[in-house]
Amino acid sequence: MNPANPLIVQGDGKVLLEVKHPQFDRARDFLARFAELESSPDLLHTYKIDALSLWNAASAGMTLNEVVDGLKAMSKFDIPVEVLRNIEDTVGRFGLVRLEAHATDPKSFITVEFANRFIEKTVIATKTGKEFIQADGKRGWRIAAGMRGIFKQRLLLEKWPVADNAGFLHGDPLELGLRDVMRSGKPFRPRDYQFESVERWYLKGAPQGGHGVVVLPCGAGKTVVALCAMAQAQTHTLVLCNNQSAVTQWIREILDKTTLTEADVGEYTGQSKVIKPVTVATYQVLTWRRSKTAEYEHMHLFRDHAWGLLVYDEVHLLPAPVFGATAELQGTRRLGLTATLVREDGREGDVFSLVGPKRYDLPWQTLEKRGFVAEAKCFEIRVPLTSRDRAAYEAASETEKFRLASENAKKLPVVIDLVKRHQSDNILVIGTYLDQLHDVARDLNAPLITGQTPQAERDRLFAKFRSGALKRLVVSKVANFAIDLPDANVAIQISGSFGSRQEEAQRLGRILRPKENGAFFYTVVTSDSKEQEFAVKRQLFLTEQGYRYHIEDRAAK
């Protein structure tokens, strides 16, 4: 017992962390490796020890002793016995079931191995075991090679995370290297953490490597991580990303920083369908179909080419049909890239089992301290409703209340005031509701980009913003992901998607490219409303990364 320590571990598995404790930063970084932040009031943050985060920690090399010894060293009181047992059981389960290459027929089968006879009998008796596991000779076990993904997915649901050591097909070979000098004429060398993340993912080509997720903040160079992975794998590669703008950026980066030429790189989108040794496609084109009952017409892209590497950009956004295709492609190396593994649909387990476990994660503020991402100051500005709007709000249904609060007209003067405050800066105003965005764009005399904006016009406006010819830009949710605007240093968020932690992280990420005077992230919310409640949930991931939100209440003025 040491009451001077920063943590309290409760019997229900929740961990309380004192915010004002001198060891807060150290304890937060420790907990973030294997627990999930649930709430973050000013004085006491609450974490939950979660099975999936424990398995991700174990797959990344964190041992049971590291978890337990760290908790004991930082806890005020003795850790409840039932919590220790749960951690030991959960961490200990990872790798008790292993997939290995089949000795005689690897194309048709995969060997299933167990840590001991008790685990063997227990897993074979599960519903998944009965459906998929076959006897292989007198003492061995196997599954059909085509069931590799669905077997891992199903067994995870039964709390048996599988270590997949069955190895990968090589795919068609492709010789490529990284440039020392980019086409733009600037010198190029990946940063140390980018090299390190690929080393942990690739594991020198061992069967245990070559599949998994790298988590880095927006602006930290996740695309470069993928280029390093391609240089390691030396094989035909399919890159999947979120939209046409992202495809353009990926192709630009590939040509700028690798030895590949235009003849090697193809685009597979709604505008162009060219398959080359490296092909960049959108999730949208893969999941397009003529009707809800029709086939996905472009899923053949996965199967019609001997890909040796699949890169999933923004892996937290993977659509369900792509999960299905990924389950079939477990013989191909897979790299997932994301700023946050949070999925609003709760399918983090599918990412773990089908793409791979988290291989590398670096706290955002660690990179900020090293100067690789901008120092960001986060503000929440609370604005009241007028008396008339408050009456309408109180009379509205629960589902209508959030939208009424989000579209509060009193936000507009606040946005104008913030723009004046940052008149010499490069400002993005980001929102969700189109009528509100049109009003803001009109009042600021700024261009507006929405889902209805033609791609050519989007590219033109983004290029003007990058060049400095345009200082203010109003954008809808289309700018949440994979938009490269390195000089943006102020983001003003006027509405969002309920309590989406993922969206909060991505929007802050729009302004995190390194810059001399730092970055400013403002969220304008309606006070005493559903929107304010959801804002607290939205901020959880960034709070876990070490960001503090400064609250400014305009109602008090």
Pairing of strands 14-18, 7-9: antiparallel
The CA distance from 553 to 499, in Å, is 20
> In this structure, are 410 and 492 located in the same domain?
yes
Q: What is the DSSP string of 161-222?
A: -EEEES-----SB----B-SB-TTS-B----HHHHHHHHHHHGGG-TT-SEEEEE--TTS-H
Three-state helix/strand/coil letters over 305-327: CCCCEEEECCHHHCCHHHHHHHH
Contact between residue 241 and residue 480 where contact means Cβ atoms under 8 Å apart: no
Q: Helix 148-157 vs helix 320-328: angle between axes, to the nearest 10 degrees?
A: 120
Cα dihedral 78→82→87→89 (10° resolution): 140
Q: Give dist(CA 357, CA 343) in Å, integer.
A: 15
Q: Pick from 173, 168, 186: which is nearest to 231 by CA?
A: 173
Same domain flag for 89 and 26? yes
- CB–CB of 330/207 below 8 Å? no
Q: Which of 93, 126, 155 is the last residue of a domain?
A: 93
What's the confidence (pLDDT) of residue 482? 56
In a domain, 173, yes or no: no
Domain carrying residue 425: 369-556
> Shortest CA distance to 8 belongs to which of 42, 33, 43, 52?
43
Examine the domain organization and report whether 63 and 46 are in the same domain.
Answer: yes
Asked if residues 252 and 173 have their Cβ atoms less than 8 Å apart, the reply is no
Residue type, 554: R
Degrees (nearest 5) of the Cα angle 527, 415, 500? 55
Q: How far is CA 404 from CA 349, 414, 530, in A?
A: 35, 17, 9
Please check whether residues 248 and 385 belong to one and the same domain.
Answer: no
Q: Which of 512, 461, 464, 524 is nearest to 488 (CA)?
A: 512
Same domain, 87 and 121: no
Q: Is residue 178 in some structural domain?
A: no
The residue type of 206 is A
Residues 229, 329 within the same domain: yes
Considering the domain architecture, whether residues 339 and 305 belong to the same structural domain is answered as: yes
Query: 12 and 38 share a domain?
Result: yes
Domains in the chain, number: 4
> Which residues lie below 8 Å from residue 85, measured CB to CB, with a gap of 6+?
none
Q: What is the structure's pLDDT at 529?
A: 94
Burial (CB count <10 Å: 0-12, 13-18, 19+), residue 483: buried
**Residue 552, in any domain of the structure:** yes
Distance CA 182, CA 202 (A): 25
Q: Which CATH number do you get for residue 433?
A: 3.40.50.300
Q: How long, in residues, is the chain?
A: 557
Same domain, 374 and 444: yes
Amino acid at 384: P
Do 247 and 355 belong to one domain?
Answer: yes
Q: Are residues 498 and 534 in contact, defined by beta-carbon separation less than 8 angstroms?
A: yes
436 is a domain residue: yes
Q: What was the pLDDT predicted at 445?
A: 94
Can you list the positions of beta strands (E) in 421-494?
A: 427-430, 448-449, 472-475, 490-493
- Domain termination residue (choose one: 93, 109, 138): 93
Domain presence at residue 56: yes
List the chain pLDDT tens, one digit each, 557 residues.
799 999 999 999 999 999 899 999 899 889 988 998 887 777 889 999 989 999 999 988 899 999 999 999 999 999 999 999 999 999 999 999 999 999 999 999 999 999 999 999 999 999 999 999 999 988 899 999 999 999 999 999 999 999 999 999 889 999 999 999 988 888 999 999 999 999 999 999 988 899 999 999 888 899 999 999 999 999 999 999 988 889 999 999 999 999 999 999 999 998 899 999 999 999 999 999 999 889 899 999 998 899 999 999 999 889 989 998 999 999 999 999 998 888 878 889 999 999 999 999 887 878 888 889 888 899 999 999 999 999 999 999 988 999 999 999 999 999 999 999 999 999 999 999 999 999 999 999 999 999 889 988 988 998 898 888 999 999 998 777 656 677 889 999 999 887 788 888 888 888 888 887 889 999 999 999 999 998 988 888 788 777 889 999 986 54
Residues 206 and 135 in one domain: no
Residues 183, 171: Cα–Cα separation, whole Å = 28
Based on the domain organization, do 464 and 356 belong to the same domain?
Answer: no
Domain stops at, among 294, 327, 362: 362
| H-helix or E-strand spanning residue 228 | helix 222-233
Residue 245 in domain: yes
Domain for residue 183, yes or no? no
User: Is residue 112 within 8 Å of residue 144, measured between CB atoms?
Assistant: no
Q: CA 218, CA 212: separation in Å to the nearest integer?
A: 18
CB contact at 8 A, 235 and 309: yes
Any domain includes 463: yes
pTM for the full model?
0.87
Tokens (6 digits) for 208: 């245990």
Neighbours of 222 (CB within 10 A): 23
